[in-house]
Amino acid sequence: MPKFPKVLVCLLLACTLLCGCSLIPTELEDIEVNVDELTIYLPGYFKNYVTEPVDGFFMYGYDEVTVGGFREDYSFFEEIPSLEDYANKMIADNELEGQVEIIDGIVTFSFPKLVNDRESYTYLTAVFAGTDAFWTIQAGVRTLNFDTAKQMLLDIIKTAIVR
């Protein structure tokens, strides 16, 4: 081997050892997503799926996991329902197979949905009350992986802050 490549290899090895192998990223910083009065923190490897900004809406994902959210103004209601009533209304209006469950103080429900007429996904949905709107966050994964992924999806939803 010529002298130049040996020196280069030794130099790169020394730099790597001195830097503590920090040249290889092992963990990405969380992404802070701000939409109107909602802030949520997503894993750094998630990508934004929305190409054109839409007021009151976001959608991120990675591999087979998606996390999205939207707002529904209180002005659409004659009387503002409780979070549980709002969640039940969503289930009924959309003919979903779900039941409201309070998990760690968060109003949630889960439902399966066929995507592209072939793959079943299950969505963990949480609803929050803002100053002038309800916020709905849906975190979904393939149904066969839902039981394993449910806690991770809930941990993501728990990062949501509605001001």
- Hey, where are the domains in the chain? 25-162
Specify the pTM. Answer: 0.81
Widest pairwise Cα distance in the chain: 81
**Predicted confidence (pLDDT) per residue in 91-110, tens digit:** 999 999 999 999 999 999 99
CATH of 25-162, picked from 1.10.150.120, 3.40.50.360, 2.60.40.10, 3.40.1000.10, is: 3.40.1000.10
Task: Answer for the pair 151, 139: CB distance below 8 angstroms, yes or no.
Answer: no
Read off the pLDDT of residues 72-91 as tens digits, 9 standing for 90 and up: 999 999 999 999 999 999 99
Q: Is the pLDDT confidence value at 4 over 90?
A: no
CA separation for the pair 98, 110 (Å, rounded):
5
